[in-house]
């Protein structure tokens, strides 16, 4: 059974429907990507998951039970914009956030120091937050998200502002959490990260769920008949080919959609016959980015204003 | 309510506020400001020209100037160095001629005033005062009282009255105020007035300081998005309650620090104070004072927190704060004026009305014996206000704290209050 089930979730703010009848399940042992543009309804959905907002309709079931205010103790939330008290010391900050999650005492303190050591911040334990660099502040924020050992972790744009080394460190810890049977929701508009980390995704646009499921399956479905060619010379003649649906020309790289996957061979043959120099030819491959753009274009109406 | 979480919030608030350097500095600074402002007021009232006032006294009555000179030496309230006085005796006709010559001296202020004492003054006490600035009362009144004494003495001198009679006639009236209460009648000095002023000022500062602190702290949490993290752990109600309890404890502690020395000085005999400065205030009134302050502080902290939640920067919040500020400022000025007559209807009504009673009643109770029923009404009214205000403030806080972007209008805020959940 899926540990987190979201059923028919809806939230209105006056006239505006921020989240419109969304349903999806988050499977065990996976990283779940919540994807969408700014203002798509991600934050509102997350706030309902954390019981900050009460949904107008629908329900959230975690491990077989409808969530209650106590559920907050099992959630770890890393917000998109960092939220720390500037004048508090690092260790006080960590212990405070653990305390309001119901965890206090020497065990938590010991763990806090362990995390600080792992993030190479042990010597800054008594520094004030405002004296830390942005990247270090973000590490503190991340530690405070997981220090109370939550079962359900929501990470909103966790990598923004981190250097490559810390990004790797964070990624390792996220994967480690996944291994510990935690339910992880990764909310992002950066498709590359979502693609690398997530096993399942839900894509939200204008408050509606436009796509969800296993990432591999989604990609497979969307990549059928998709071809990317890196070439030298003009290939504009392909627009005339009867089996070509769509062509996007990026100069040396061209993305082509054909009617059916067996047309891939026909296209390759034609290109060779026309003496086009081909440096790379990849078939049936697509990125989450492309899927998102394609879907957003299809549903695209006016973008919602404001983030809720 | 989750008590453990609220405790966590309270602990942080206390660490942040009660044990902060700024708390100690402000707590010590405020009594200094009060003493300074009382001092400045006293100094301004007694302020006279720094350089000595130069005056000419011209008398038509022979021998009067000599007596005035003598009287001057005897009057202890006048410092000789503050006045340079010259004297002359001449008839009215001669004086009217010489006034033209003296005019330039008055205009360039080498002479501040001329007092002419006509013969008739012995009958009607009417003098003439010449000056560039005849409205300057300081010179007129000081010299006037001296001349009055001389005229009184002169008037009675030929009528077989002894010196004691004349001294009596010269003496101005002196009120000895007696405070009448149910238990006793006792002499009253300035003590109650000073205490009334002190209470008013401390209540005003106490409310303003902690109000501004919670306002800033709410805005910090909102603009730094700390509130998102907090709300992923505690409910907005728990957060607001925790913050207000923390701030109330801080504020009560501050009030206590301010008033303990006052209680010790005035209620024990460790310090011998002149009767003039003593006052009597019962243990019940002290209890009322702290209970009243506690209810007041919780009410106002709720309002300040709600205003902080509406806005996401200090500037907008300051401009949106005026309705709450008015609720403190107006009672503050009423309380300051209560001394004129603590039993007029304005004083009585404002000491039992919502919000205003928090500041006016303590100022009034130091001056008069307030009937017990009025204390009860004031407490009941304030508790009722708190019960009405708190859920509204809580609702505004809960919704406002998560709203970012454009500054909401008052109409929108009113709309939040009407929302069901």
Output A201 or B71, whichever has higher pLDDT. A201
When mean pLDDT is compared across B44-53, B145-154, B160-169, B185-194, the lowest value belongs to B44-53
d(CA A65, CA A3): 10
Which helix (DSSP H) or strand (DSSP E) does residue A244 occupy? strand A244-249
d(CA B110, CA A1): 104
Quick check: A47 and B226 CB within 8 A? no
Residue A82 lies in a domain: yes
Contacts of B190 (CB under 8 A, 6+ apart): B276, B277
Query: Which of these three, A219, A236, A259, is where a domain ends?
Result: A219
Q: How far are the Cα atoms of A229, B23, B254, B359 from residue B290, in angstroms, in the given order?
A: 81, 20, 12, 12
Query: Is residue B364 within 8 Å of B197, Cβ to Cβ?
Result: no
Give me the pLDDT at residue A308, please: 32
B233 interaction partners in chain A (CB closer than 8 Å): 72-73, 97, 100-101
Give me the pLDDT at residue B186, please: 65
Residues in chain A: 308
Q: Where are the alpha helices (DSSP H) in B224-282?
A: 226-231, 236-267
The distance in angstroms from the start CA to the end CA of chain B is 17
Quick check: B224 and A83 CB within 8 A? yes
Q: How far is A85 from chain B (nearest CA, A)?
A: 7
Residue A304 lies in a domain: no
Quick check: A100 and B405 CB within 8 A? no
Quick check: B16 and A88 CB within 8 A? yes
Cβ contacts below 8 Å, chain A against chain B, sum to: 73
Does A178 share its domain with A229? no
Query: Is residue A307 within 8 Å of A187, Cβ to Cβ?
Result: no
Q: Which of B11, B221, B229 minimises the CB distance to A79?
A: B229
145-174 in chain A: CB under 8 A from chain B = 154
pLDDT surpasses 70 at B356: yes
SS3 (DSSP) at B175: coil
B402 interaction partners in chain A (CB closer than 8 Å): 47, 52, 308
* pLDDT tier for residue B278 given thresholds of 50, 70 and 90: low
pLDDT surpasses 70 at B279: no
A77 interaction partners in chain B (CB closer than 8 Å): 228-229, 232
Q: Chain B contact for A72, CB < 8 A? A: yes
Does A129 share its domain with A263? no
Quick check: A79 and B228 CB within 8 A? yes
Domain ranges, residue A251: 225-283
Chain B residue whose CA is closest to A85: B226
CA B378 to chain centroid, in Å, comes to 22
Residues linked to residue B180 through DSSP beta bridges, in sequence order:
B185
d(CA B378, CA A266): 92
Q: Which of A72, A92, A307 minimises the CB distance to B232?
A: A72
Output B363 or B123, whichever has higher pLDDT. B363
Q: How many structural domains compose chain A?
A: 2
Query: CATH number of the domain that A206 lies in?
Result: 3.40.50.300
Chain A residue whose CA is closest to B7: A100
Does A175 share its domain with A272? no
Quick check: B226 and A85 CB within 8 A? yes
pLDDT surpasses 90 at B214: yes
Q: Which of A54, A73, A81 minimises the CB distance to B421?
A: A54
Does A190 share its domain with A260? no
Residue A293 lies in a domain: no
Q: How far is B416 from chain A (nearest CA, A)?
A: 10
- pLDDT truncated to tens, each residue of chain A (308 aa)? 788 899 999 998 878 888 999 999 988 888 999 988 877 888 889 888 888 888 889 999 988 888 888 888 888 999 887 789 998 999 999 999 999 998 888 999 999 999 999 989 999 999 999 999 888 998 999 999 999 999 889 998 888 778 888 888 888 989 898 888 888 999 888 788 888 889 999 998 888 998 888 988 888 888 888 888 888 877 888 888 888 888 888 877 888 888 887 888 888 888 888 888 888 888 877 888 888 877 877 665 433 333 33
Residues linked to residue A202 through DSSP beta bridges, in sequence order:
A34, A212
Quick check: B225 and A83 CB within 8 A? yes
pLDDT tens sequence across B373-415:
999 999 999 999 999 999 999 999 988 888 877 788 888 888 8
Residues in chain B: 421
Q: Chain B contact for A11, CB < 8 A? A: no
Which helix (DSSP H) or strand (DSSP E) does residue A21 occupy? strand A16-26
A73 interaction partners in chain B (CB closer than 8 Å): 233
Q: How far is A98 from chain B (nearest CA, A)?
A: 9
Does A47 share its domain with A152? yes
Question: Is the CATH number 3.40.190 carried by domain B54-170?
Answer: yes
Q: Which of B220, B224, B234 minimises the CB distance to A100?
A: B234
Residue A305 lies in a domain: no
Q: How far is A284 from chain B (nearest CA, A)?
A: 42
List the beta strands (DSSP E) in B131-194.
178-180, 185-187
The count of other CB atoms within 10 Å of the CB of residue A289 is 13
Tell me the residues of B at the A interface, defined by beta carbons under 8 Å apart: 2, 4-5, 8-9, 11-12, 15-16, 220-221, 224-236, 402, 404-406, 421
Chain A residue whose CA is closest to B227: A83
Does A129 share its domain with A253? no
B234 interaction partners in chain A (CB closer than 8 Å): 72, 100
Q: How far is B323 from chain A (nearest CA, A)?
A: 27
Which of A70, A92, A100 is the best residue to mutate to test the B interface, defined by the most B CB atoms within 10 Å of its own CB? Answer: A100
B2 interaction partners in chain A (CB closer than 8 Å): 69
Chain B residue whose CA is closest to A82: B225
B225 interaction partners in chain A (CB closer than 8 Å): 79, 81-83
Query: CATH number of the domain that A233 lies in?
Result: 3.30.70
Q: How far is A54 from chain B (nearest CA, A)?
A: 8
When mean pLDDT is compared across A260-264, B238-242, B285-289, the lowest value belongs to A260-264
Quick check: B234 and A85 CB within 8 A? no
Does A15 share its domain with A149? yes
A141 interaction partners in chain B (CB closer than 8 Å): 229
């Amino acid at each position: 059974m899926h540990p987190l089930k979201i059923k028919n979730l809806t939230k209105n703010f006056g006239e505006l429907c921020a989240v419109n009848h969304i349903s999806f399940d988050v499977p065990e042992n996976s990283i779940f990507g919540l994807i969408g543009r700014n203002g798509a309804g991600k934050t509102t959905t997350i706030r309902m998951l954390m019981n900050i907002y009460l949904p107008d309709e629908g329900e959230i079931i975690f491990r077989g039970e409808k969530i209650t205010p106590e559920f907050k103790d099992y959630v770890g939330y890393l917000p998109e914009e960092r939220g720390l008290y500037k004048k508090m010391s690092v260790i006080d900050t960590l212990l405070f956030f653990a305390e309001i999650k119901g965890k206090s005492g020497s065990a938590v303190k010991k763990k806090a120091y362990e995390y600080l050591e792992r993030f190479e911040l042990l010597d800054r334990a008594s520094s004030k937050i405002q004296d830390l660099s942005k990247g270090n502040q973000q590490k503190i924020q991340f530690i405070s998200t997981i220090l109370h050992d939550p079962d359900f972790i929501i990470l909103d744009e966790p990598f923004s502002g981190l250097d490559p080394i810390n990004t790797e460190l964070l990624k390792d810890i996220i994967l480690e959490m996944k291994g510990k049977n935690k339910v992880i929701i990764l909310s992002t508009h950066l498709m590359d990260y979502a693609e690398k980390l997530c096993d399942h995704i839900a894509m939200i646009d204008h408050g509606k769920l436009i796509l969800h499921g296993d990432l591999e399956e989604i990609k497979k479905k969307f990549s059928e008949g998709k071809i990317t060619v890196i070439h030298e010379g003009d290939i504009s003649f392909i627009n005339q080919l009867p089996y070509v649906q769509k062509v996007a020309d990026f100069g040396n790289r061209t993305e082509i959609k054909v009617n059916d996957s067996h047309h891939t061979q026909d296209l390759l043959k034609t290109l060779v016959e026309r003496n086009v120099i081909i440096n790379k030819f990849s078939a049936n491959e697509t990125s989450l980015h492309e899927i998102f753009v394609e879907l957003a274009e299809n549903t695209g109406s006016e973008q919602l204003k404001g983030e809720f | 309510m989750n008590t453990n979480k609220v405790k966590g919030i309270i602990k942080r608030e206390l660490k942040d506020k009660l044990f902060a350097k700024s708390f100690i500095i402000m707590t010590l600074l405020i009594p200094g400001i009060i003493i300074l402002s009382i001092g400045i007021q006293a100094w301004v009232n007694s302020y006279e020209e720094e350089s000595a006032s130069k005056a000419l006294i011209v008398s038509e009555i022979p021998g009067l100037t000599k007596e005035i000179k003598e009287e001057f030496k005897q009057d202890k309230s006048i410092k000789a160095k503050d006045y340079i006085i010259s004297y002359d005796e001449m008839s009215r006709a001669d004086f009217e001629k010489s006034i033209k010559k003296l005019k330039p001296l008055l205009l360039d202020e080498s002479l501040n005033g001329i007092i002419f004492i006509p013969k008739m003054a012995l009958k009607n006490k009417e003098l003439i005062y010449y000056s560039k600035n005849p409205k300057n009362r300081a010179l007129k009144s000081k010299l006037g009282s001296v001349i009055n004494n001389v005229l009184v003495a002169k008037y009675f001198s030929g009528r077989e009255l002894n010196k004691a009679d004349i001294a009596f006639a010269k003496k101005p009236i002196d009120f000895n105020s007696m405070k009448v209460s149910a238990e006793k009648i006792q002499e009253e000095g300035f003590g109650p007035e000073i205490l009334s002023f002190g209470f008013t000022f401390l209540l005003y500062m106490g409310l303003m300081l902690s109000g501004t602190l919670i306002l800033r702290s709410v805005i910090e949490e909102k603009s730094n998005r700390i509130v998102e993290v907090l709300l992923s752990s505690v409910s907005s109600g728990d957060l607001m309650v925790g913050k207000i309890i923390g701030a109330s404890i801080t504020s009560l502690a501050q009030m206590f620090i301010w008033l303990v020395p006052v209680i010790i000085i005035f209620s024990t005999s460790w310090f011998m104070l002149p009767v003039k400065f003593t006052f009597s205030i019962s243990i019940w009134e002290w209890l009322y004072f702290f209970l009243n302050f506690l209810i007041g502080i919780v009410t106002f902290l709720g309002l300040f927190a709600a205003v902080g939640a509406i806005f996401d920067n200090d500037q907008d919040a300051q401009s949106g704060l005026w309705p709450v500020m008015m609720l403190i400022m107006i009672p503050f000025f009423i309380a300051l004026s209560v001394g004129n007559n603590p039993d007029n209807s304005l004083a009585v009504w404002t000491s039992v009305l919502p919000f205003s009673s928090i500041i006016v009643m303590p100022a009034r109770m130091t001056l008069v014996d307030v009937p017990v029923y009025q204390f009860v009404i004031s407490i009941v009214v304030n508790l009722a206000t708190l019960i009405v205000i708190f859920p509204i403030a809580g609702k505004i806080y809960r919704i406002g704290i998560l709203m970012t972007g454009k500054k909401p209008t008052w109409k929108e805020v009113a709309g939040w209050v009407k929302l069901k959940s």
